[in-house]
Chain A
Amino acid sequence: MKIVVPIKRVVDPNVKIRVKPDGSGVDLASVKMAMNPFDEIALEEAVRLKEAGKADEVVAVSIGPQQAQETLRAALAIGADRAILVRCEGRIEPLTVAKLLRIIAEREAPDLVLAGKQAIDDDSNQTGQMLAGLLGWPQATFASAIVVDGSNVEVTREVDQGLMTLSLTLPAVITADLRLNEPRYASLPSIMKAKKKPLEELSPEELGIDVAPRLEVLEVSEPAARKAVRMVSSVDELLLKLKEEARVL
């Protein structure tokens, strides 16, 4: 079985981002970047399936600027066999990513695409579902457990009221939730070895996809600030404030 794992280079989740004063976007100059945390989980699951003898090859794919090469090298160090970078500049929307991934999926013919459930920058939560729709493949979002069984995969999903288990006929698209696994750190020898693994570069033009955004961003702003905290010194004072000042009790 072959698994394709889409990887996105995003702002490091520990960075406190700043909105540009002119409202045009978020200031990303000289900000630390990292692999999207949900993609790390998807990749970890793919590598575990390979280690368990369920998969033969794991291909990491990223769509983004030249620097996304570093993120793909990190994926190779964690255990992907090879990588593909589709070089794109500017704002790339989930629909565009899904269309590019569809072409890659048609070329690579994987049995499974394992993606993260959402990217922590645009918080869209769309790409996996869109790819499944374009390919006509079944989907399972928010996966917290994956069991591959021959030509089927059983996926436990985290839904609003508990868990739901689905059985999908392969090929399929699965998106990873937080509790699917605990991603590993790459060891120094594997980082060195990753430098020699193949990394193919493509352009959207070669794949015949128009990358122009469909949504127009009118403004990016800071959320309204809240009033300063009022510290209270006792439970009685807290209750008094909640009843008489805030009137929520």
Chain B
Amino acid sequence: MSILVLAEHDNSALSPATARTVAAALAIGGTIDVLVAGADCGAVADAAARLDGVARVRVADDAAFAHQLAEPVSELVVHLAGDYGHILAPATTTGKSVLPRVAALLDVMQVSDITAVKGPKAFERPVYAGAALQTVEATADTVVVTVRISAFDAVAETGAAPIEPVAFTPAAPKARFVSREAAASEGPELANARIVVSGGRALGSQEQFNAIIKPLADKLGAAIGASRAAVDSGYAPNDWQVGQTGKVVAPDLYVAVGISGAIQHLAGMKNAKVIVAIDKDPDAPIFKLADYGLVGDLFELVPELTESL
């Protein structure tokens, strides 16, 4: 059986999310093709061709795919779907937008955000903000799946798959790209970082968030995260939010600073290998999940920690 993996990229670089999705495809088993839909995206196709386990890279290089909008990309995927038993995309904001549209056009249910492959058509996925794990089996001939990227380790990059162009022109668009505003972020990407330092409401202000969290993250080479309370209070931009409604991360080390540990936040970080919590309230729910807990004033403890590293 053949598997199609939709590549995540920005037309110039392939996102690490793709190598993790290919790992999920390998666990299913079968011939793996990667589809790169973009504009002037030759470098992305070259990078996809190096991923281990990939048999072929198919490239639809056309201005219509420049921003990977759901309408043209889903049309393209449906056009190619007849060749495949499985269609996979990373559960990023792009994958989450495109793939359910593909599934509906193919008249099949999608399996969202899988965390494990249990069989050729059986998958585990978290529900209720990660409070339960559901194992589901798809019955359709075409299986459409989005992959939680923090649950799979990226494949290596020693391959050399052939690259083949795909000629396809989608219908005239009813959705048009207007603009993009990138968040200011210098450190590693949150979704793929080895270490994440996250701040919560207890930081008290944007100035204090930056003064306390950023030096520690810089010292650790960590990405910065935030709780929903910190984002809603304007201490941090919303694409730093970790949780059910934000990003799901599974770094080696997650440091939660001044985060009480609401269930929605825990859903986004509970699979970190080691969790450290620093908070003044010894009864905060975060200490039920943490591996190491330190109770005290974060405004003293965190600078001391930064200094000691």
Binding site for B on A (CB under 8 A): 11, 13, 16-17, 19, 26, 93-95, 98, 117-118, 120-134, 137-142, 144, 154, 157-169, 172, 177-179, 213-223, 226-227, 229-236, 238-239, 241-242, 246, 248-249
Give the chain A neighbours of B70 by CB distance below 8 A.
129, 132, 139, 141
For the complex formed, measure the closest distance between the CB of B268 and the CB atoms of chain A, giving whole angstroms.
12
B104 within 8 Å of A (CB atoms) = yes
CB-CB under 8 A from A122, the residues of chain B are 127
Are A130 and B103 interface neighbours, CB within 8 A?
yes
Q: Which 5 A-B pairs have the closest CB atoms?
A: A130-B104, A129-B100, A126-B100, A138-B175, A133-B101
B295 touches A231 (CB 8 A): yes
Verify if B134 is at the interface (C-beta below 8 Å from A). yes
In the complex, which range does the number of interface residues on chain B fall in? Answer: 35 or more
The one of B105, B133, B253, B273 that contacts A133, using a Cβ cutoff of 8 Å: B105
Known contacts A117-B245, A120-B129, A239-B309; 13 further A-B pairs (Cβ under 8 A):
A94-B100, A94-B110, A118-B245, A129-B101, A130-B100, A130-B104, A133-B102, A134-B105, A138-B173, A221-B132, A230-B291, A235-B304, A246-B253
For A163, the chain B residues whose CB sits under 8 A away are: 180-181, 183
Q: How many contacts A-B (CB < 8 Å)?
A: 254
Q: Across the interface, do A95 and B109 meet the contact criterion of CB distance under 8 Å? A: yes
- Is the Cβ of A218 less than 8 Å from the Cβ of B112? no
B interface, over-half SS: mixed
- Chain B residues near A121 (CB, 8 Å)? 127-128
Given contact pairs A158-B93, A248-B253, A229 touches B291 in the complex (Cβ within 8 A)? yes
Tell me how far the C-beta of B195 lies from the nearest C-beta in chain A, rounded to whole angstroms: 8
**CB closest chain-B residue, reference A246:** B274
Q: How far is the CA of A105 from the CA of B94 in the complex (A)?
A: 25
B101 / chain A contacts, CB cutoff of 8 Å: 129-130, 132-133, 139
